[in-house]
Structure formats: C-alpha cells, structure tokens
C-alpha cells in the first residue's frame, strides 16, 4: 500500500527545513559580522595610512610642491582599502582629488586618473576618514588643510569575498552532508522497519495466524522494537484466544449435537416458540407427526401448522407472560386420518431477556383407552356382584 505522506519523509522534511532555517540564519549573521569587521578594519587601516603619510604630505604642502602632493595622492590609491583621495586647503577649496569621491549631495563619481579620461558617475556607497594637514616647526604647529580618504562598499566586499564564498560553500556542504546523513539514518531506523511492519500487517490473516511472529529487522531496543514486541504479544494472545475459542466451539458443537439427539430421541412432540410465536424448535417426533422437515418449519409462525396440531393460544400467551407451566389434558387431535388423544404441556422459556414457550405433546391414546377399558370392567364386575 502506497502511503501518501510517509512518516520518515515528513520527519526528514521537517528536520531538514528547521536545520536549513538555522543554518541560513547563522550564515547570514556570519556574513554580516564579517562585513562589519572588514568595514572597521578598512577604517582603521585608512587611519594608520593617514598617520604614516602625514609628515611627507605636510612637508610637500608647506613647500607648495603640488607635484609631490599629487604623487603622494596617487601613491595612496595603491592601497586596496583606499579608492579616493581629496585634499583641501584651509579655505575649503579642493587642491587635489583623485579616484572615487562624492559630491556635496553625496553622489559618487570617479575622477580621471589619466589625461583624456572623463569623470564618471557611479552608484557605489562611500565612506571616508579625514585628518587635518599639520606642519610642525619647532614647537609650533601650522594647520595647512585637510586630507580625506575615501573607500566604498566594494572594497569591503572584495576583502570578505573569499571568506563569504568559504562560509557559503561550507554551509552548503554541511547542509548536503546533513541531508544525506539524516536520509540514510531515517531510512534505516524508521522508513525500512515501518515498511517491513506495514507489509507484514497487510499480509497477516487473523483467521489463520498459525504461529505467526513479527520480525521487523530492528536490533536496537527503541520504540519500534517495543511496538514489535507489543504486536507479537497481541498475536500470541490472539492465537491463544483463538485456540480457546475453537475448543469452546467444538464443545458447543458436541453439546448441541448431544442435545439435538436427546430432543429427537424423546417420544414426545417438542415445539419451541419465540415471543412472536414463531417456531424455534421442531424435533424429529414433530416431523414424524406432520411430515414437515425441521428446516421448513423453523422461523415460520405457528399459525401455519394449525392443520397438524391443536393448541390453546390463550394458554400459550398466559404461559409466556405469567412464566408458569400450564397443561391441557386429553385433547383430541386429528392426524393422519386418525383421531388421537394428546396431553399438551406449556413450558415457559426465558433466553437473552426474551420470553418464549416450549410445547410438549404426549400421545396418551392407548393410556386413555386402557383406562376406559379398566373402568368398564370394574363397572361390569360391580353389576354382576349386585345381581348375586
């Protein structure tokens, strides 16, 4: 039988779905943490670069050596974390700007690094660090301007790209490995035993168990093993119950056969009636008196057989309702073209909360004739003695 939603498949799906959600959440958090860490690292790196180039830049600015200032600016772009450099004087005027920068409206653009190149607008998100340009003369400090270093999210992404690929690849490999492991484990520990159990139960015949025992190929003492043991106990109890039931059936058949023989051996006519006066018993003597077989009489109303037997219907009713034995003596019955005399006894019968009646008819024709003959002989003898 094909199962529309196998339990093992559903467990695998639920478990894997939960793991996938957890793994995806952890991976995203890991990637975000790597991104933020890289962002902080680039910021710190630009601060360090500013500090290390402060002296050279301030000296070139003090000497108003713009070629040297531009050379230092282009040299700063050689660092992977720096994508743009802007140098302003004290009046806020831009003296040098190279690389990726932003305007007053925070729109990014890329300046021409070589002659003939045009300024290009880009869609990068920039962040920057700045520091004043200070030249020291003896104990004095002169502020000459400001240097601003720019970087973008692309620089951050480039630094975490390899780590990101490793994190994602690691998550995919772990997810696939876990899916394979869970699939194999669920198949071995749940799906396979349940399939064997289902096939065994489908082919079991409760009417012919013989000595059937379940073996679902489970070695560990787990829930399925407990279910197998419980099922075997149920089969054992059922087999024992079936044996006891067969013995009782055999005893009942023998008892029924004995009672049937006993009833049929009686010389009396025995007729059983239920509460609706339908025939439930029709013994062999009743068959002999009526020439009607038992199978043709049982289940039919007694009224269909008034041509063969004569009964007092009121006494049948009184016997059933009052639960007492009643009797009719010397009842003339015309049967087989011969008039005979019967004693009819009405016995109440209670069974399964239903009340019926058993009719017993005894042929007393010869007894009555003998009694009448005896009475006539006695009367004749009395008359003879009177005449003497």
Over its C-alpha atoms, the chain yields an Rg (Å, rounded) of 58
196-221 pLDDT tens trace: 777 777 767 666 666 667 676 677 77
What is the spatial distance between Cα 388 and Cα 382, in angstroms, rounded to a whole number? 10
**What are 343's strand-pairing partners?**
362
Higher pLDDT, 204 or 99: 99
Contact 122, 103 (CB under 8 A): no
Torsion of CA 266, 270, 274, 279, to 10 degrees: 110
What is the spatial distance between Cα 84 and Cα 128, in angstroms, rounded to a whole number? 9
What is the spatial distance between Cα 316 and Cα 345, in angstroms, rounded to a whole number? 10
What is the spatial distance between Cα 44 and Cα 54, in angstroms, rounded to a whole number? 15
Helix or strand holding residue 98 (H, E): strand 94-102
Output the six-digit token pair for 321: 């309702």
Domains of the chain: 7-164 (3.30.450), 206-265 (no CATH), 267-387 (3.30.450.20)
Query: In terms of DSSP H, where are the helices of 270-361?
Result: 284-290, 294-297, 313-322
**Sign of the dihedral defined by the CA atoms of residues 53, 59, 62, 64, in that order:** negative
pLDDT of residue 180: 85
pLDDT of residue 212: 66
What is the spatial distance between Cα 50 and Cα 48, in angstroms, rounded to a whole number? 5
Q: Is the pLDDT of residue 119 over 60?
A: no
What is the spatial distance between Cα 149 and Cα 160, in angstroms, rounded to a whole number? 20
Q: Is the pLDDT of residue 1 over 50?
A: no
321-362 pLDDT tens trace: 888 999 988 888 776 667 788 888 999 988 777 889 999 988
Q: Could you tell me whether strands 126-137 and 120-121 are parallel, antiparallel, or unpaired per DSSP bridges?
A: unpaired
Contact 294, 287 (CB under 8 A): yes
Confidence of residue 115 (pLDDT cuts 50, 70, 90): very low
Confidence of residue 2 (pLDDT cuts 50, 70, 90): low
Q: What is the pTM of this model?
A: 0.47
Q: Is the pLDDT of residue 3 over 70?
A: no
pLDDT of residue 20: 82
3-state secondary structure at position 26 = helix
27-69 pLDDT tens trace: 888 888 888 888 898 889 989 998 888 888 888 888 888 889 8
């Amino acid at each position: 039988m094909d199962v529309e939603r196998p339990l093992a498949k559903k467990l695998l799906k639920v478990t894997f779905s939960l793991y996938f959600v957890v793994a995806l959440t952890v991976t995203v958090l890991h990637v975000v943490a790597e991104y933020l860490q890289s962002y902080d690292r680039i910021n710190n790196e630009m601060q360090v670069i500013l500090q290390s180039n402060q002296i050279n830049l301030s000296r070139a600015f003090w000497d108003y050596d713009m070629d040297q200032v531009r050379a230092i600016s282009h040299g700063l772009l050689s660092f992977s974390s720096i994508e743009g450099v802007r140098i302003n004087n004290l009046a806020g005027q831009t003296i040098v700007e190279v690389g990726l920068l932003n305007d007053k409206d925070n729109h990014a653009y890329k300046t021409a690094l070589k002659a003939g190149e045009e300024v290009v607008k880009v869609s990068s998100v920039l962040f920057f660090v700045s520091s004043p340009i200070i030249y020291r003369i003896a104990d004095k400090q002169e502020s000459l301007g400001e240097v601003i270093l720019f970087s973008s999210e692309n620089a951050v992404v480039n630094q975490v790209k390899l780590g990101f690929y490793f994190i994602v690849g690691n998550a995919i490999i772990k997810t696939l490995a876990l899916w394979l492991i869970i699939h194999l484990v669920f198949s071995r520990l749940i799906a396979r035993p349940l399939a064997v159990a289902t096939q065994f139960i489908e082919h079991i015949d409760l009417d012919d168990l013989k000595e059937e025992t379940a073996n679902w190929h489970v070695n560990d003492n787990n829930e399925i093993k407990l279910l197998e043991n419980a099922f075997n106990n149920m089969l054992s109890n059922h087999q024992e119950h079936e044996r006891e039931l067969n013995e009782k059936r055999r005893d009942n058949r023998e008892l029924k056969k004995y009672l049937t023989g006993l009833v049929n051996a009686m010389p009396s006519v025995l007729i059983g009636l239920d509460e609706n006066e339908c025939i439930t018993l029709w013994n062999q003597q009743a068959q002999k008196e009526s020439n009607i077989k038992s199978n043709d009489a049982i289940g039919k109303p007694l009224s269909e057989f008034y041509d063969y037997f004569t009964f007092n219907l009121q006494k049948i009713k009184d016997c059933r309702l009052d639960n007492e034995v009643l009797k009719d003596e010397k009842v003339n019955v015309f049967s087989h073209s011969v008039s005979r005399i019967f004693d009819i006894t009405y016995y109440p019968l209670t069974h399964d909360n239903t009340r019926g009646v058993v009719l017993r008819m005894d042929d007393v024709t010869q007894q009555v004739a003998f009694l009448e003959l005896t009475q006539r002989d006695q009367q004749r003898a009395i008359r003879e003695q009177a005449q003497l």
